[in-house]
Structure 1
Amino acid sequence: MKIGVLMGGISSEREISLKTGEEMVANLNKDKYEVFPIILNSKEDVIEKVREIDFALLALHGKFGEDGTIQSILQTLNIPYSGCGSLSSAICMDKDITKKVLKAENIRTANWIIVKSTEDLAEENIKELNYPLVVKPNNGGSSVATNIVFSLEEMARSVEEALKYDSEVMIEEYIKGDEITCPILNGQMLPVLAIKPKSSFFDYTSKYADGGADEFIIELKEELHKEVEAMALKCWKALKCSVYARVDMIVKEGVPYILEVNTLPGMTRNSLLPKSAAGVNISFSKLLDLIIEYSLKENRV
C-alpha cells in the first residue's frame, strides 16, 4: 500500500505539522507500506501530489489541514485518509461551534463569547464574563496567540494579536485547575494524561519544547475517572468523531470542564497521544497501523 504522509500546509502550525510528519514517516512499518513524504506548500499542491497514493496519512494541523478542507478534497479524489471526517473536522476546528454543540448536549464547558474586532469589547456581554479570561483565535491551535488577561486593556491587546491569525476571536472564562487530556482511539478512551506546564498554562512552548511540561499517565479517583470518561465519549459522539481524537479538559475542585477537542492531535515525540498509547503497550508504529486500519474501515470513498 502506498501511504502518503501529508505534512506542512499553510497554517500557523506548519512547523509542528512538519515535525509530526517526519515522526510518522520514521515510525511507519516499511515492510508493510511504501511511504511517501508529501510536503504541501499551497492548496493547489494537493491534487498533483496525492495522485499516486492509496492512502493519505494526515500530519496536518490548523486551517486547510484540520478544518475539513483537505478531507473534502481527498473524498472527492476517492483517496481514503486518516482520522475524523470532513464534517467533524470542520465542527471541532471552530471552537465556537464546538462549544455550542457541547452546551446543547449539556456537556460542561466554560462561558465564552466571540468578537470580530476590538470595537466588540464595548458590548454588554463582555461584562458578564469574570476575569481572568483566555483570549485565542477561534479557529487556531497549538495555543498560538493564546493569552490569559486580567483587564480590558490586556484583552484589547490580545484580541488584536489573535486577529492576526483569524477573523474571529474567542474570549473565554479562565478555569484554574488541573489540566488533563483524554485520547480516544476507535471509540475507546486510552489512559488519561495529566499536564503540568512549566509556564502559567499549556502554551506553545510547553507543548513542543523539550521539558516544557511534565506529562504523565494519571490514575484519577474512581468517580472522577468515570465522569471524565463519560464526558470524553459524549463529546466524541456529539461531535461525530471517528478513528482518533483527543479531548482536553480542566478539572477544578473535582469538577471537569471541556476545553476543546482535537481531531488531528500532534504526533511528535513530545505529543500526548503516543504517550497515552504507550501506557497500554501500543508502540508508535502499532498506533499508526491502527489509525490506518480504523480509517480504512470508515469507507468514506
Structure 2
Amino acid sequence: MNEKNDAGKFGKVGVLFGGRSAEREVSLMSGAGVLKALQSKGIDAHGFDPAERSLAELAAEKFDRVFIALHGRFGEDGSLQGALEQLGIPYTGSGVMASAIAMDKIMSKRIWLSHGLPTPRFIELDAHATTDEELRNAGDTLGFPLMLKAPHEGSTIGISKINDHAGMRTGFDDCARYDEMILAEEFVTGRELTVPVLSCGRSAQALPIVEIRAPQGNYDYHNKYFSDETQYLCPAPLDEALAKGIQSIAVRAFNALGAKGWARIDFMLRATDNEPFLLEINSSPGMTGHSLVPMSAKAAGISYEDLCVQILSSASLELSTTPKI
C-alpha cells in the first residue's frame, strides 16, 4: 500500500494543542510540530486550540480521531479525555483515569509504592494550612536539599529546590500559587534520566534512555525548552544491565497506572549506588525541537514523522462499548 492511500485510513484528524494550562506555550510548539509531521505524511490533519474554540465546534469538525498535543491541566489530566469519550472521538494517549492519576504526582507515587516500585520519600502539605512548624518538620524529616512541587503541574512549573529551612516558606508559597496540595520530596543526588514508553499492557516497550545534563544541574523551564547549553545523551551511557533494569521499571510504572499509547517516565539515578528512583510520568509529553521522546525515538531508528504516525495509529476510545443491562 502506498503512503498516500495508507494515510487515508486515518480520515480527518484533529491535532489538539494550545489549551489553557500554564504549559500553553510549550503545547503550541508541540502541536505545530505534530501537525506539520502528519501533513507531510499526507494525512488530512487540522489544528484545533480548545482555548479558542468550544467543544461544540470540536464536535462540528467531525474528526475521525485526534492527536492530543496538549500539556497540563484541561488536556493531560483526564478532563478532555472524558469529553472526547462523550463525543465518541478516538484520541491518542491514556484514558480518563490513567490521565488523571498520571497528572497527580502524589497519586502516581502512591500507586508505584503499592507496586513495589522505587520513588523518593515524600510528604504531602496543604497549600493553605501548612504552618511554619510543619514546614520545619518536613525539612527535618526529608533532609536538605529537598524539592517542593505543585503535583498537578509540569514543564518544571511550580517546582522549587530548597537548600535550608530559611528557604522553605518562600518556595512553598511559590508552589502554592499552582495547587491545593504541595509535594515535599526527598532530593536524590545523581543523574537525571527519562524513558519514553510506547503501546500498552504486554506490548508496552521502552525506548532508549535519555540522560539530561543541564547547566549547573538546573533543568528549569528555560534550560528544558530554549537553552542550547543543556546536553542530552541518548542512548544514555549506562551499563547494559542497569539500562535494561531502568527500562523495565519504566514499563512497570507505565502499566501500574494503566497508561497507554505513549508516555515519558522521569528518573533520578542516585550517585552513591546507581539506584533508580521514579519521579513522575508525563502522559502527553512534549514534541518540540528540544523534546526527549522524539530524541529517544530517533536513537531507535524512528523519525519524528513516523513517531507521530505511530502515536496517531494508537488512538482509541476506552468506553467504546455499551454494557448490557
Q: TM-score range by the shorter chain?
A: over 0.9
Q: 1:145 deviation in Å?
A: 2.4
2:297 aligned to 277, 280, 291, which one?
277
2:192 alignment partner, SS class:
strand
1:227 is matched with which residue? 245
5 Å matches for 1:40-59?
40-41=50-51, 45-52=54-61, 53-59=63-69
**Which structure 2 segments of 5+ residues have no match?**
1-10, 321-325
Distance 2:140 2:215 in 1: 31
Higher-Rg member (1/2): 2
Which secondary structure state, in structure 1, belongs to the residue aligned with residue 130 of structure 2?
A: helix
Q: Do residues 215 (structure 1) and 254 (structure 2) align?
A: no
Structure 2 residue 117 is the aligned partner of structure 1 residue 107? yes
- Residue type matched to 2:296 in 1? S
**Does structure 1 conserve the Cα–Cα contact (< 8 Å) formed by 2:112 and 2:253?**
yes
Identify which of 230, 254, 262 aligns with 1:236.
Answer: 254
Is 1:147 the counterpart of 2:160? The answer is yes
Q: Match for 2:91 among 64, 81, 91?
A: 81
CA distance in 2, matches of 1:196, 1:130: 24
Q: CA-to-partner distance for each residue in 1:62-118, whole Å, 9 max, x for gaps?
A: 111110000010001000001111111100101110000011111111011121236
Among 185, 194, 197, the alignment partner of 2:198 is 185
Q: State the TM-score, normalizing by the size of structure 2.
A: 0.88
Kept in 2: contact 1:111–1:129 (CA 8 A): yes
Residue equivalent to 2:5: none
How far off its partner does 1:219 sit? Answer: 4.0
Contact kept, 8 Å, 1:66 with 1:89, in 2: the verdict is yes
- Decide whether the 8 Å contact of 2:66 with 2:315 is kept in 1: no
1 CA distance for matches of 2:275 and 2:221? 26
Query: What's the offset of the Cα at 1:222?
Result: 2.2
Residue type of the partner of 1:188? Q
120 and 47 in structure 1: CA distance in 2 versus 1, 3 angstrom threshold: farther
Q: Percent identity?
A: 32
Higher deviation after alignment, 127-136 or 257-266: 127-136
Contact 2:93/2:260 (CA < 8 Å) preserved in 1?
yes
Q: CA deviation at 1:125?
A: 5.0
Letter in 1 for 2:130: E
Q: 1:276 to 1:122 in 2, by over 3 A?
A: same
SS at match of 1:26: helix
**Residue 25 of structure 2 is aligned to residue 15 of structure 1:** yes
Deviations 1:191-223 (A, max 9, x none): 111110114332111110141411121242122
Report the residue type matching 1:147 in the other structure: S
Selected match of 1:93 from 99, 103, 108: 103
State the distance in 2 between where 1:129 and 1:250 align.
16
Letter in 2 for 1:96: I
1:165 to 178, 182, 205: 178
- 8 Å CA contact retained: 1:136, 1:146: yes
CA distance in 1, matches of 2:172, 2:229: 25
| CA-CA distance at 1:120 after TM superposition | 3.9
Match of 2:8 in 1: none
1:265 aligns with 2:276: no
> 2:311 maps to what in 1?
291
SS of residue matched to 2:233: strand
In 2, Cα distance between equivalents of 1:209 and 1:3: 29
State TM-score, norm by structure 1: 0.94
2:183 aligned partner, one-letter code: M
Superposition pairs of residues 241-260 of structure 1, within 5 angstroms = 241-252=259-270, 253-260=273-280
Q: Which of 129, 133, 143 is the matching residue for 1:122?
A: 133
CA distance in 1, matches of 2:39, 2:154: 29
What SS does structure 2 have at the residue aligned with 1:28?
A: helix
Aligned residues: 299
- Asked whether the 8 Å contact 1:250–1:256 carries over to 2, the reply is yes
Deviation, 1:126, is 4.9
5+ residue gaps, structure 1: none
